[in-house]
Amino acid sequence: MLSVLPFPDIDPALFTVTLFGMEFSLRWYALAYIGGLLIGWWLVARLMRRPALWGGTPPMEPKRTEDLLTWMVLGVVLGGRAGFVLFYQWEYYSQNPGAILAVWEGGMSFHGGMLGVLLGIVGFSLVNRLPMVRIGDAIAAVTPVGLFLGRLANFINGELWGRPTDLPWGVVFPGPAAQTCPDLAEICARHPSQLYEAGLEGLLLGLVILWGVSRRGWLQAPGRVTGVFLLGYGLARTFVEGFRQADAQFITEDNPLGHVLQLGEFGLTMGQVLSLPMVAVGLLVLLASRRRR
């Protein structure tokens, strides 16, 4: 008998209310976005109140973090949606442009959101005449919190599940994931890849950055935290993609692993194609930060 873990019976909606005959729900996924942004805002404000961490004067006054939050919300939402449309579902949305605005139906991309946040940092810094790299370091330092909450919400929603596995911690997800695995005779258990990502991209990376900021003075070297974040996330996401079920639109009979780039016998998923450049950029930023310190 295959040893598996049952999927926890957690309603994706925290609560639902009915107003004027219409139902409105607060879903865990939306709460993860809200919580990640608000906690990140609070942490950035705390960083700005700690001159010693910066080796002198922080890059901005704590009260300015309220304006920064507005830029970050726009960057996350607009960038995340645009990234999903362009990177994952362009064929569908190019034929149904009206559906692009239907964000309540789901569909966000981390890589798109990251590019949106990057543009937000550039815009905020230019408008307020603030040091762009140091503002980026502050955002990078708190981003793992949002990643951790977001991946937990993915797990609760039963989405972005992993590939089939016979390991004892395999989870039987509901819905489409519950189909019989082709290589297993019994019920289909899958890697809880959302939890792998929460642990690596969120918890572990966050602890490494916390240690570097509090114990090693990383904020005193402009770009150091940003470089560590890009490198750490890129490596973690590239690794977990090996356990994560590829997006359905990339899977065919001849391409069961959903590779979008084939390099001889080796292939890369869309997540890896988008994450590996982050590793290269992270290394370059880290090298540059050594000269700035």
Annotated binding site: 151
Contact between 259 and 250 (Cβ < 8 Å): yes
Q: Which two tokens stand for residue 123?
A: 């815009």
H-helix or E-strand containing 26?
strand 22-27
H-helix or E-strand containing 232?
helix 224-240
User: How far is 162 from 140, CA to CA, in rounded Å?
Assistant: 27
User: How far is 107 from 261, CA to CA, in rounded Å?
Assistant: 22
Length of the chain: 293
Q: Which two tokens stand for residue 7?
A: 């999927």
The Cα-based distances of 69 to 37, 40, 57, 80 in angstroms read 7, 9, 21, 16
The Cα-based distances of 208 to 62, 122, 148, 224 in angstroms read 24, 25, 14, 12
Contact between 231 and 283 (Cβ < 8 Å): yes
